[in-house]
Amino acid sequence: MSRLLAAGLLVLAVSACGFQLRGEAPSGLKSLHVSTEAPSQVAVEIRRSLSGGPTRLAADLKVAEAQLRILSESTEKTIQTLTSAGRVFDYQLRLRVGYRVTNGAGQVLIAPAEIEIRRIISYSETAPLAKEVEERQLFEDMRAEAASQILRRIAIAHAGAAAR
């Protein structure tokens, strides 16, 4: 009974502070065409995200309400910290995605912009394979976050353009 009471109090406290799951970005956008200049995993993630929502993925640019063009995508891994013995302690992972958004008439909604996401990953000489798997998972999470940020920015830009 005390666990149930504690859980109830926790739910009440969290909802009272205004916490809300992020969910899907609000969007009045009916259709979006996604294109890339080079293969892009972020574009794949954006297409996957759109497949389950109210905004449909337009295969043809002519029928799309807006066009997202992924201009570039790059990943980078650099040494963040060294131990006193000169061995790697931490790496910094970086994902950069360049993009631009135009409406159906070709007018710019979002001028060429770039999103940069960084993560720190510790390194272990005793478990290099596990760290490699962790690195791949972090890059996947970073791509999902970049896709989500781009979709939110498109929703905001579209709402601003519709209000004008």
> What is the domain-level CATH number for residue 51?
3.30.160.150
In 1-127, which residue ranges form alpha helices assigned H by DSSP? 2-16, 41-51
**What pLDDT is attached to residue 105?**
87
Confidence at residue 5, expressed as pLDDT on a 0 to 100 scale: 57
Pairing of strands 31-36, 56-57: parallel
What's the Cα-to-Cα distance from 147 to each of 10, 14, 47, 65, 128, rounded to whole Å? 32, 27, 9, 19, 29
Q: What is the mean pLDDT of each run of 10 residues along the chain (164 residues)?
A: 61 56 58 94 96 88 92 97 92 98 92 98 91 96 97 90 68
pLDDT given for residue 25 in this prediction: 45
Domain tally, the chain: 1
The answer to whether 55 and 32 are in contact (CB under 8 A) is yes
Closest among 110, 97, 95 to 29, alpha carbons compared: 110
Q: What pLDDT does residue 22 have? A: 47
Domain that holds residue 12: 2-163
